Amino acid sequence: MKRILEMFGEPITYGGQESVVFNMLSSLNLNKDYNINLYTPYYADNEKLIGLVENNKGQVYHDDIEFKLNDNRFRLNSLVDSFFKTHNKYDVVHIHTGSLTTMYVYAKNAKKYGIKKVIVHSHTTGFKVSLAMRIRRFILNILLKRYVDVYFACSEDAANFKFGNYYSSKPIIVYNGIDINIFKFNNAYRNEIRNKYNIGNKYLIGSLGRLSFEKNNFFLLDILNKIIKVNENVVLMIAGNGEYYESLQQKCKELKLDNNVIFTGSVLDAYKYYSAFDIFLMPSFYEGMPVTAIEAQISGLQCLISDTVTRECNISDITTFISISNIKLWVDSIVKSMNEFNVNTVDKNRMNVNVDFNKFDRRSTFKIVEKVYND
């Protein structure tokens, strides 16, 4: 049995990384071929992922230190060193984080304590960076090469952004595989969620994911503020949690949108929410390979996505990429969709959307991971 440690450089909560790891582990033969543990220096509250690991005789380690954006990640070194002193009997360490510094700290300590195979996994892209940041990234990648055996990335963009050309082996693209069938449109789910939040037949704009800087969630409120001046029969649902949760609620009050916005917090049954939505918005500043965008398209949802997001996530003919510098185009696209919307044809329209989801089927995508784990 292979012993695997999945290391997170952020809290283990309800974000894209956690969703990918959950789907990946669900595709493996746990408790027979693999013993999986999780680690984060921060908090862990993703009950779904934690339950999957613990129900298969794995452990979840979290030190519960405070997570701060733009903190000096080198400060994690002593904490990670202490962890590996007593937890180093692993065949593979698989590192998931948006921070190159954290990748370096984790990989260096893993090798220090004799881990034979270290994998680093890029799940995201980012802004164009300054010269100083490019130099810093160059140095970190040169240092990282000494401790990494395998590079994974969720897309070509994510590989290029995180690693550039500075790697010890060419990055392997592992698309974010999901359980295709569970995300297909389901009218029972639609009614369940709409009844739960008393939405009725109102037009429901949906967003789902971590409430953090890169997701650009405040833009959603700006869009809604303009739409209700045209049509008030609309609701914005922001499903998810994160460091911007309270700030978003405050802006909602300032704009007097309380009657048109629903904050759900973290949701365990995200697959049901796509069926309830009438349109899905992703105005992110950047993404690696957005799992939620793939899930939304599989559900037959019309999707409006920021043009900074990789086109590799486009798997349907109902997805449009729009610049976040042009809010009018977002508003006009949504109003047009609202005007064309017919509640009586939702089932037919959603089920007949042409979606090419094969490359994101977890039954095939994560065979790559399994092969690397076993080699």
Which CA distances in Å does 242 have to 57, 139, 158, 254, 309?
29, 31, 22, 20, 21
Which CA distances in Å does 99 have to 4, 77, 104, 161?
21, 14, 9, 12
pLDDT at 169: 84
Burial class of 77 by CB neighbour count within 10 A (0 to 12, 13 to 18, 19+): middle
Q: How many CB atoms lie within 10 A of CB 331?
A: 18
Q: Does an H or E element contain 363, and which? A: helix 362-365
Instruction: For residues 157 and 287, give the distance between their C-alpha atoms in angstroms, rounded to a whole number.
Output: 9
pLDDT at 127: 67
Residue in 112, 83, 102, 104 with CA at minimum distance from that of residue 5: 83
State both tokens at 329.
């185009």
pLDDT tens for 267-305 read 989 999 999 999 999 999 988 889 899 999 999 999 999
Task: Choose between 237 and 131: higher pLDDT.
Answer: 237
pLDDT tens for 310-357 read 898 999 989 999 999 999 999 999 999 999 988 888 888 888 788 887
Q: The pTM is what?
A: 0.79
The pLDDT confidence band at residue 5, using thresholds 50, 70 and 90, is very high
Which residues does 31 contact at the CB level (< 8 Å), separation at least 6?
56, 57
Which residues are bridge partners to 3 per DSSP?
35
Q: What is the set of domains in the chain, with CATH numbers?
A: 2-178+361-374 (3.40.50.2000), 181-356 (3.40.50.2000)
Which residues does 179 contact at the CB level (< 8 Å), separation at least 6?
23, 26, 362
The answer to whether residue 128 scores a pLDDT higher than 80 is: no
